[in-house]
Homo-oligomer: A and B are copies of this chain.
């Protein structure tokens, strides 16, 4: 059953008023695949004074805070911590192209979890990388964006990937 729909299929912001305020953590991860030359340029842009990843990090952190404005049924939550980080990866078995790995960790002390905030941070950081490199590579793709870990709340700890 979709908790965000009532018994008539109507969207609603579900009631979390009865849930206790607890410390909650969510970690999400995603990838931006790109041509080798694009990766080379991003690496350069990440050298001293380069702003590419710094801009994507800031965009991701700011987007986490705006999640309830973007996702219609998300509850507004007082985020207590947001981290966004990047790893520049070369092609491997699962990745035919170079890729940026983006990881976001979001925390709160609240009545509901912050999965959407972590996923939104990853996504907007990824879009920002796309934006900054799109003039040279319009074939980049944002892919494999998923939840990695979740702690706190009634459902307890959930670790989907090591």
List the interface of chain A (C-beta within 8 A of B).
1-6, 8-17, 23, 30, 41-42, 45-52, 54-55, 57-59, 61-63, 65-66, 68-85, 107-111, 115-116, 119-120, 123-124, 127-128, 130-136, 138-147, 150, 158, 160
Contact = CB atoms under 8 A, between A and B. Distances in A.
State the copy count for this chain: 6
6 contacts: A9-B49, A13-B61, A17-B108, A46-B49, A70-B70, A73-B132
Contacts of A145: 141-143, 145
B131 A71 contact: yes
Contacts of A16: 80-81
Contacts of A10: 49, 51, 54, 57, 85
Q: Is the interface of A mostly helix, strand, loop or mixed?
A: mixed
Given A54-B55, A115-B134, A81 B139 contact: no
Nearest to A108: B17
Contacts of A74: 131
A84 B115 CA distance: 24
Contacts of A144: 141, 143
A17 B68 CA distance: 20
Contact of A61 (B11, B45, B77, B79): B11
